[in-house]
A and B are shown apart, each in its own frame.
Chain A
């Protein structure tokens, strides 16, 4: 008998029972403009063999492409041991270890993760991870709202436009329903930074928090010290949004300005998690000790048992959803136990010095490419200041078309900023990590120059869409 869950008669009977005319009627409550009717490039139905064949073919498109795209997801070398150890049966279960007596290994690993993350951020406490970077930022903002006084009639959060555009969307979706004013702060077109003078234009003192991205979406380093001191002087909290790998080189949020940032969050993917069509990744959330009761999610603590022996347990759980239901600090504090396991093993294998070397190599490679590209006619370096491992270039040719051409030369040449920052014109955000060699960088710069030069000649040739990872 074939595997057919419902016959046509079953379906008709069920529809008749609930009074629906056809299957499409079930989706009527979804507004028409939100329904995705035709997914581009996905055939309506295939059998297993056809599907495998198609997937192999598509997977092959990605093979051997040199990736220079960052924009929130970064390619790094992951030692084979990381996932070999992570995939062991003892670690592979992702279930939250509520039952401490049966989960000491998992709990200790999460405790080690928290210790590593808190020291990387120079803050007192870390939770055991959240869903991803965007939701971690939304949780950081919600935390700031809870930490500032409840009786404050209008709470205002400052979101610089140098924050990842997707993260800003996530914050709007999650926090937008809380009667909070989210104020976007424009950046300096010359430096790509958030300026104090722009912040000063926000009227009133009633500010809950400022988010400080470091490095920011353009790869540019913000003046985190000055921004932290500015928001503290206004009586608000400073939220650092950081790339954890860059923390091996840059000043961590806990040390920004006079008092340090109050909360730090970020995307954990750069630490041992492979690029995989956008996820699964994991979110980082750390804070000063005084705010620990507003820190959502699982937190593992170290204690002693009745015989005085060391043990690990979930702690500060009285405000979490399995106890407090709707009144929990968060109801979407999904954690990513498996990815955190990989990250913890990655950090253990590399150690502080190894992390630093990865960060330095990425920075040096990006600097080298930026220098090479700056010498090419038709390429302008948009923001010249200090950066981590990403930078923006402006072309005199259509950026999207250039990317498509580069892909034919097996190069993913960057992330086009045209949709998310139309005011910047034909710009590409380019990332270089430690995975690239001097030869790779040379090749990219030559191919890009060539593509730009030949663009006008080949414009008439039909273009085929090429899938990139963002």
Chain B
């Protein structure tokens, strides 16, 4: 079983979401889960959103490409992109090596603090288990 940290939120489309503070403001950091990177295999290219662009929840905002597939990343919370992980552009394998740390994708200033649509670690683990058959 892949690593699913308890303290994070998750989306059905395999993004993880972490609440963070930046300059006394509540923001969120988004990445893809250990399970997702494991399914994709070695990542070779990442396309990140433009800073200051805004997205609805569930809207495509990035693309991760591995040796065998390219997958869309969906913005899990409506908001505005305030920071992207530029290190990934040079070194996409950071996502494989450290999906919850150095492999983060982007940070969002949420328009809406309602996180109830997101999954808890337990709910996400159950979803992953139900997909594996």
Chain A residues with CB under 8 Å of chain B are 149, 151, 293, 318-319, 323-324, 327
Cβ proximity bits B62-98 to A, threshold 8 Å, 1 near / 0 not? 0001111110100000000000000000000000000
Q: Is the CB of A318 within 8 A of B70?
A: yes
Min CB distance B9 to A, Å, is 25
Residue of B nearest to A151 (CB): B53
Q: Is the CB of A293 within 8 A of B45?
A: yes
Cβ proximity bits B50-69 to A, threshold 8 Å, 1 near / 0 not? 10010000000000011111
Q: Is the CB of B70 within 8 A of A324?
A: yes
Question: Which A residues touch B69, using CB under 8 A?
Answer: 318, 323-324
Given contacts A293-B45, A327-B72, contact A318 B66 (CB under 8 A): yes
**Contacts beyond the supplied A318-B44, A324-B69: 7 A-B pairs with Cβ under 8 Å:** A151-B50, A293-B47, A318-B65, A319-B65, A319-B70, A323-B68, A324-B70
Distance between Cα atoms of A327 and B67 in the complex (Å): 17
Distance between Cα atoms of A40 and B32 in the complex (Å): 61
Question: Which B residues touch A293, using CB under 8 A?
Answer: 45, 47, 65
Among the listed B53, B68, B72, which residue makes an inter-chain contact with A318, where contact means beta carbons less than 8 Å apart? B68
Distance between Cα atoms of A318 and B70 in the complex (Å): 5
Question: Which B residues touch A319, using CB under 8 A?
Answer: 65, 70
Query: 8 closest Cβ contacts across the A-B interface?
Result: A318-B70, A151-B53, A319-B70, A318-B65, A318-B69, A149-B50, A324-B70, A293-B45
Distance between Cα atoms of A323 and B69 in the complex (Å): 7
Question: Which B residues touch A318, using CB under 8 A?
Answer: 44, 65-70
Min CB distance A366 to B, Å, is 46
Min CB distance A416 to B, Å, is 47
Question: Which A residues touch B66, using CB under 8 A?
Answer: 318
Distance between Cα atoms of A319 and B63 in the complex (Å): 10
The number of A-B residue pairs with CB atoms under 8 Å apart is 23
Residue of B nearest to A319 (CB): B70
What are 13 A-B contacts with C-beta separation under 8 Å? A149-B50, A151-B50, A151-B53, A293-B47, A318-B66, A318-B67, A318-B69, A319-B65, A323-B68, A323-B70, A324-B69, A327-B70, A327-B72
Distance between Cα atoms of A323 and B67 in the complex (Å): 11
Question: Which B residues touch A323, using CB under 8 A?
Answer: 68-70
Distance between Cα atoms of A293 and B65 in the complex (Å): 10
Question: Which A residues touch B53, using CB under 8 A?
Answer: 149, 151
Distance between Cα atoms of A319 and B67 in the complex (Å): 10
Distance between Cα atoms of A319 and B47 in the complex (Å): 13
Residue of A nearest to B65 (CB): A318
Distance between Cα atoms of A293 and B70 in the complex (Å): 11
Distance between Cα atoms of A100 and B72 in the complex (Å): 28
Which of B47, B53, B65, B70 is the most central at the interface, judged by chain A CB atoms within 10 Å of its CB?
B70
Distance between Cα atoms of A126 and B50 in the complex (Å): 28
Which of A293, A318, A319 is the most central at the interface, judged by chain B CB atoms within 10 Å of its CB?
A318
Residue of B nearest to A327 (CB): B72
Cβ proximity bits B20-61 to A, threshold 8 Å, 1 near / 0 not? 000000000000000000000000110100100100000000
Question: Which A residues touch B45, using CB under 8 A?
Answer: 293
Residue of A nearest to B81 (CB): A151
Question: Which A residues touch B68, using CB under 8 A?
Answer: 318, 323
Distance between Cα atoms of A133 and B119 in the complex (Å): 50
Question: Which B residues touch A151, using CB under 8 A?
Answer: 50, 53
Min CB distance B61 to A, Å, is 9
Distance between Cα atoms of A374 and B65 in the complex (Å): 59
Residue of B nearest to A329 (CB): B70
Min CB distance A227 to B, Å, is 27
Residue of A nearest to B54 (CB): A151
Residue of A nearest to B55 (CB): A151
Distance between Cα atoms of A324 and B65 in the complex (Å): 11
Distance between Cα atoms of A39 and B72 in the complex (Å): 48
Min CB distance B37 to A, Å, is 15
Distance between Cα atoms of A117 and B44 in the complex (Å): 26
Min CB distance B36 to A, Å, is 15
Question: Which A residues touch B67, using CB under 8 A?
Answer: 318
Distance between Cα atoms of A304 and B45 in the complex (Å): 21
Distance between Cα atoms of A423 and B70 in the complex (Å): 49
Distance between Cα atoms of A318 and B68 in the complex (Å): 6
Distance between Cα atoms of A389 and B29 in the complex (Å): 59
Question: Which A residues touch B65, using CB under 8 A?
Answer: 293, 318-319
